[in-house]
Amino acid sequence: MRWGRRAAATAPAETLPRTAVELRDVTHAYGDRTVLSSISLTLTEPRVGVIGGNGSGKSTFARLLNGLVLPSSGTVLVDGLDTRSRAREVRRRVGFVFQDPDAQIVHPTVAEDLAFGPTNQGVAPAEIDRRVDDVLVRYGLDGHRDHPAHLLSGGQKQLLAIAGVLVMRPERIVFDEPTTLLDLANTRRVARVIDELEQDVVVVTHHLDLLAGFDRVLVFEDGRVAADGSPAETVPWYVARIS
| Residues near ligand ATP, by CB under 6 A | 30, 35, 52, 54-60
Least distance (Å) between residue 196 CB and ligand ATP: 25
Q: Is 224 helix (H, G, I), strand (E, B) or coil?
A: strand
Nearer to ligand ATP, 214 or 220 (CB): 220
Least distance (Å) between residue 37 CB and ligand ATP: 12
Distances (CA, A) of 10 to 61, 193, 198: 29, 10, 7
Nearer to ligand ATP, 18 or 241 (CB): 241
Phi-psi region for residue 123, left (φ > 0), alpha (ψ -120 to 50) or beta?
beta
Nearer to ligand ATP, 101 or 117 (CB): 101
Exposure string (b/e) for 128-165, b if CB count within 10 Å is 16 or more?
A: beebbeebbebbebeebeeeebeebeebbbbbbbbbbb
Least distance (Å) between residue 50 CB and ligand ATP: 8
Nearer to ligand ATP, 37 or 109 (CB): 37
CB 53 within 8 A of CB 222: no
CA distance 160 to 105: 8
Phi-psi region for residue 226, left (φ > 0), alpha (ψ -120 to 50) or beta?
alpha
CA distance 97 to 139: 15
Least distance (Å) between residue 56 CB and ligand ATP: 4
Tally of helices (H runs) and strands (E runs) in the chain: 8, 10
Pairing of strands 33-43, 47-52: unpaired
Least distance (Å) between residue 239 CB and ligand ATP: 16
Least distance (Å) between residue 54 CB and ligand ATP: 3
Nearer to ligand ATP, 139 or 214 (CB): 214
CA distance 40 to 21: 11
Nearer to ligand ATP, 34 or 119 (CB): 34
Least distance (Å) between residue 42 CB and ligand ATP: 20
Nearer to ligand ATP, 52 or 155 (CB): 52
